[in-house]
Amino acid sequence: MSRTLVLKTIAAVLLGGAAMADAPRVAVDIAPVHSLVARVMAGVGSPDLIVPPGASPHEYNLRPSEAAALQEADLVFWMGEDLTPWLEGAIDSLAGGATVTTLLDSDGTQLLDIREGALFEAHDHDDHADQDDHADHEGHDHADHDDHADHEGHDHADHDDHGHEDEHDDHHADRHGHSHGAHDPHAWLSPQNAQNWLTLIAAQLSAADPENAGAYYANATAAQEDLSALTDELTTMLAPVRGGRFIVFHDAYQYFEHAFDFPASGAISVSDATDPSPARLAEIRARIRDEGVDCVLTEPQFNPGLVATVLEGSTAETAVLDPLGATLEPGADLYPQTIRNIARTLADCLSR
């Protein structure tokens, strides 16, 4: 190896190490959002994940290492209190000096109302989109986020309590301390929302680390292009089974359903994954029996016994959906793999 090549190699290593050392410390709540941040930070640094794979974001107790990541963070990205109500206090007490970005409150985010009842109709996907408090995507310059750059005193939108169809569900949710906002918090399952957030993430990182702004924005743009291609790929994948009837374990998928015009027929559990009431289970069993549901989906984090209960006497197929990438390695590839796996699982289950 020539002396010049050796010197260039050493310089590259040193510069790479300097970039990593100088990168902002970033803490992120859930693996899909962590994946988006990791993609934007590629080549510069790596974010810390707060809720580990396999854990439910609705209920979790911080470990010391995760509390330390919050305490040391320069920036925090999280969905918001509607998904992780237990995390709000930890952010306030541990990450007081950090710039905190609440994605559900960010400009351009498409929000969908929490659905009522166990059974869904196709029109649900047309009636509940809400962007009243967010900037329109058209003509909106996502590169200019001055209002987000200084977010230390972050605000959390007030949400009216959302009643469930059954008194048992109300009491159970209150007992677990879940936050019931007006909007479904599983907004990361819309690739369009993810594309919007990539620009916001790049803006926030660039404000904290101007020297690497070019890398952040280039990474965000490349990721957005990849998600556009992924959306086209999955639309084609789902086309042969469009119209198939399926039941999901908990009502977490309507952003995916809306993005791909692929509606579910119902959900065993409500949006925050509290245990369903007997009345809700009876409704689901009746729909499976009477309306020819093709597939019932469970999830890695939850009790498969409930699925067995509603499937009793049915010939419907079963499969596992994973909205959080619980079985995947955290990192930049997790988000697109999670979305692709949801589509592939649905396509496979509905085509059996």
Concatenating the DSSP letter of every residue in 317-329 gives: EEEE--TT-TTSP
The pLDDT value recorded for residue 243 is 95
Least Cα distance to 79 among 157, 183, 185, 156 occurs for: 185
DSSP result, 13-31: HHHHHHHHHHSPPEEESSH
Query: Rounded to the nearest 5 degrees, what angle is found at the Cα of 211, between the Cα atoms of 207 and 212?
Result: 80
Which 8-state DSSP code applies to residue 76? Answer: E
**β-strand 129-130 against 111-112: which pairing, if any?**
antiparallel
Please give the chain's pLDDT, 352 residues, in tens: 444 433 333 334 434 444 455 899 999 999 999 999 999 999 999 999 999 988 989 889 999 999 999 999 999 999 999 999 999 999 999 999 999 999 999 999 999 999 988 899 864 444 445 544 443 433 334 444 444 334 333 443 333 333 333 333 433 333 233 344 689 999 999 999 999 999 999 999 999 999 999 999 999 999 999 999 999 999 999 999 999 999 999 899 999 999 999 999 999 988 777 788 999 999 999 999 998 999 999 998 777 788 888 998 899 999 999 999 999 999 999 999 999 999 999 999 999 8
Q: In what order do the strands lie in the sheet with 317-320?
A: 266-269, 246-250, 295-298, 317-320
Q: Are 79 and 126 in contact (CB under 8 A)?
A: no
Tell me how far apart the terminal alpha carbons of the chain are, to the nearest angstrom: 58
Gyration radius of the chain over CA positions: 21
Measured in degrees and rounded to the nearest 5, phi and psi for residue 208 equal -85, -25
Structural domains of the chain sorted by starting position, each given as residue range(s) with its CATH number in brackets? 23-113+127-231 (3.40.50.1980), 241-350 (3.40.50.1980)
Please name the helix (run of DSSP H) or strand (run of DSSP E) that holds residue 199, with its range, or none: helix 191-208
Least Cα distance to 104 among 212, 30, 177 occurs for: 30
**Number of Cβ within a 10 Å radius of residue 71:** 16
In terms of phi and psi (left: phi > 0; alpha: psi -120 to 50; beta: otherwise), the region of 305 is alpha
Q: Are 289 and 310 in contact (CB under 8 A)?
A: no
- Entry pTM: 0.80
